[in-house]
Chains A and B, each alone.
Chain A
């Protein structure tokens, strides 16, 4: 066999040591390796490397993390660590708020009037540093097309800069029952999440506005879409936002 053919065999030899080859093909590889010193060396090297890699101990989840997740998932914690337990959310969220958010997440499903809790929980979740925005742009003509192809509906996007609500980006939120297009606006240091999805055939009976866990929300419907604005902005200014939008 020529060296070119041998180099084509490389991925097969690798697949063989990875246990991916059916018996017949593995037998063919074995037959070739037996007769070909360079492929035999390759196989030997791969096996040796694999063996050495597996001597490294891959990390396991810290007990405190396991306990926190078990507890959060409603099971009796296997062991409650005395110390060293990390707050659930990094970056400026108090543990209390974070736990409240987690409780909301688990409480939302059974009741129809939990929608405010769902959107508030999604808002809090989004405040984590790693999940604020999927598309960062102050330009509605960038944000709107971003949703196209990612969603079966096209959310309206408005520029409210003139009303002092700056568009800063958007993201997708996977809420129970539907995916929301979320637009993010900013006033001063306050972020406003505007969740948008098509109005379902059976309209929800959620209140038009209120607050949960210190976050205010406004809900309205227009053009076949349901809107939820959620923010830590005071309710007066959030009402301004809702009115500017409507």
Chain B
């Protein structure tokens, strides 16, 4: 008889350890990026990734194959939500702006071929857009980030966030409309 799924008949050995590693290592950048966008704090994001790896290891015995990245990202996402909840309980301070995600952005050298003034404006616009994304409600932000930066499909995003595809679509829509409104506000404010 052929088992339909990868049923483990003997205790997990070195192979399963290695395969957990194989699942995790290629997706660390994605895992960290998601954590960073969700918790908006570089140190907490590191803790989230580490915690998620530990949790993933606990869950791994029950992992039945499938989309490895989505599986890991879902754990990261849930861990980030726990971390946010824990922090909300302990502090709950309102934040008006967030630490830039790109530590190097401030030092970025302007391409000498560009009009320096234009380059500065574009950089400021990018920073404003980044802040607008960080200010989105977390359930909109996660859909947007998974779509635009991780280039995941609606189905994968639905798996990770645990909501139906229709909800993913409407959240993406709301996220984008909100950003467009913010950008327009910013532009008229500057003018």
Residues of A whose CB lies within 8 Å of any CB of B are 10-11, 14-15, 18, 20, 45-46, 49-50, 52-62, 65-66, 68-70, 72-75, 86, 88-90, 102, 105-106, 109-110, 122, 125, 128-131, 173-177
Known: A45-B180, A56-B101, A58-B37. 11 other contacts (CB 8 A): A18-B147, A49-B176, A59-B36, A60-B32, A62-B46, A65-B49, A72-B53, A73-B20, A106-B57, A129-B86, A130-B82
Report the number of A-B residue pairs with Cβ-Cβ less than 8 Å: 145
Min CB distance A11 to B, Å, is 5
Q: Which residues of B contact A70 (CB under 8 A)?
A: 21, 25
27 pairs, A vs B, C-beta closer than 8 Å = A11-B169, A11-B173, A14-B173, A18-B154, A18-B172, A20-B154, A49-B180, A53-B129, A56-B102, A57-B101, A57-B102, A58-B33, A61-B29, A61-B31, A61-B33, A62-B46, A73-B17, A73-B20, A74-B21, A86-B43, A86-B46, A110-B12, A129-B83, A129-B90, A130-B47, A130-B83, A131-B82
**A60 CA / B45 CA spacing, docked (Å):** 11
Q: Contact check, A130 vs B51: say whether CB atoms are below 8 A apart.
A: yes
Closest to B36 in A: A59
With A57-B101, A74-B21, A130-B51 already in contact, the answer to whether A49 and B179 are too (CB < 8 A) is: yes
Q: Which residues of B contact A57 (CB under 8 A)?
A: 101-102, 105
**A232 CA / B59 CA spacing, docked (Å):** 26
Closest to B104 in A: A57
Q: Which residues of B contact A49 (CB under 8 A)?
A: 176, 179-180, 183
Min CB distance A110 to B, Å, is 6
Determine which of A10, A11, A18, A69 lies in contact with B50 in the assembled complex, contact meaning CB atoms within 8 Å: A69
Q: Contact check, A58 vs B48: say whether CB atoms are below 8 A apart.
A: no
Q: Contact check, A75 vs B101: say whether CB atoms are below 8 A apart.
A: no
Q: Contact check, B13 vs A110: say whether CB atoms are below 8 A apart.
A: yes
Q: Which residues of A contact B16 (CB under 8 A)?
A: 109
Annotate B27-63 by CB proximity to A: 1 below 8 A, 0 otherwise. Answer: 0110111001100001101111111011101110110
With A70-B25, A130-B83 already in contact, the answer to whether A106 and B17 are too (CB < 8 A) is: yes
Min CB distance A193 to B, Å, is 14
Q: Which residues of A contact B145 (CB under 8 A)?
A: 58
Annotate B75-91 by CB proximity to A: 1 below 8 A, 0 otherwise. Answer: 00001001101100010
Q: Contact check, A59 vs B32: say whether CB atoms are below 8 A apart.
A: yes
Q: How large is the interface on B (under 10, 10 to 19, 20 to 34, 35 or more residues)?
A: 35 or more
Q: Contact check, B25 vs A73: say whether CB atoms are below 8 A apart.
A: yes
Q: Contact check, B48 vs A130: say whether CB atoms are below 8 A apart.
A: yes
Q: Contact check, B102 vs A52: say whether CB atoms are below 8 A apart.
A: no
Q: Contact check, A56 vs B126: say whether CB atoms are below 8 A apart.
A: yes
Q: Which residues of A contact B83 (CB under 8 A)?
A: 129-130
Min CB distance A16 to B, Å, is 12
Q: Contact check, A128 vs B148: say whether CB atoms are below 8 A apart.
A: no
Min CB distance B92 to A, Å, is 15
Is B24 among interface residues, defined by CB-CB distance under 8 A?
yes
Q: Contact check, B13 vs A109: say whether CB atoms are below 8 A apart.
A: yes
Q: Which residues of A contact B154 (CB under 8 A)?
A: 15, 18, 20
Is B3 among interface residues, defined by CB-CB distance under 8 A?
no
